[in-house]
Structure 1
Amino acid sequence: MKITVCVLLIFFCGCDLMNRPRFNEKPRLQQKPSKTDLPEVSIASVPQNIVEYSALCQQNNTPEGAVAMTILAMWIYAEDQDFGQKAMSVISHPDLLQAGDKGVDGMQLGNMDLQRLRDRLKGKRYMLQSYFKGTTKPQYTATPPFVVETFKNPYSRLEKGALKVYVYCNGADNPRPVTVKPHNGTWKVKEWSSLTLGVKK
Structure 2
Amino acid sequence: MTDQIGVIVNSNSHIDYVCQLHGPLEREQRPPPDAYAFGSFVAISLPPFPATSPDTGQSPRADAPCLIGVVYNSMLVNPNFTNLGPRLTSQSEQTVFSPDLLDETATLVGVLALGWQDRAGPQQGTPRLTAEVGATVRRLTGEEIKQFHRDARGQLSLRYAAAILALNNTLVPALLLDIIDHLGTYFPQEQAILQIMRDNVAWKSIVQPAG
More helix by share: 1
Q: TM-score, normalised by structure 1?
A: 0.23
Q: TM-score, normalised by structure 2?
A: 0.23
Tell which has more relative contact order, 1 or 2 (C-alpha 8 A, sep 6+).
Answer: 2
**Which protein shows a greater Rg?**
1
